[in-house]
Amino acid sequence: MRFTPHVTVATVVEDQGRFLLVEEMANGRAVFNQPAGHLEADESLMQAALRETLEETGWDIELTAVTGIYLYTAPSNGVTYQRICFAGRPLQQRPEHPLDDGIIGPRWLTRAELATQPERWRSELVLRCIDDYLAGERFPLTLLRGSA
């Protein structure tokens, strides 16, 4: 059997103690996730993070650091994901920007508000990435090599 991990990106975007999350439909239920998605052909990890954040939330952001690199196997389907999580800051919202299919909308929640709803997390990485961010985990964007 061939092992093919999926490369994904995510962003932790904080503004005054609230985090930009995506409320989306997954497996027939509404869940919270960071703005996140798959790396596409011919784009860098940073380009993918900016694109996914805009497509899922309507927000333009500036990436400021790498928060962490995570290996996660989803219990629901057995797929392994390599997630590169970025820290970012919000720049501007584009309310007219169409959101991806399955997205209910962007939501700003505090860590405490999110922590009380573990049944609504897309995966355990949602809170883990925020906790790593809050713990000060910041690696320079230059950590990532390849196309800018």
Walk me through the domains of the chain, giving residue ranges and CATH numbers: 6-142 (3.90.79.10)
At 43, the pLDDT band (50, 70, 90 cuts) reads very high
d(CA 66, CA 82): 14
| DSSP letter (8 states) at residue 100 | P
Long-range pairs for 49-53: beta carbons < 8 A, 24 or more residues apart: 49/9, 49/10, 49/11, 49/84, 49/86, 49/88, 52/9, 52/10, 52/11, 53/11, 53/13, 53/20, 53/88
Does the predicted model carry a pTM greater than 0.85?
yes
Cite the DSSP H helix spans in the chain. 45-57, 111-115, 125-134
At 4, the pLDDT band (50, 70, 90 cuts) reads confident
At 2, the pLDDT band (50, 70, 90 cuts) reads confident
Query: Given a cut of 60, is residue 147 above it in pLDDT?
Result: no
At 27, the pLDDT band (50, 70, 90 cuts) reads confident
d(CA 67, CA 88): 10
3-state secondary structure at position 77: coil
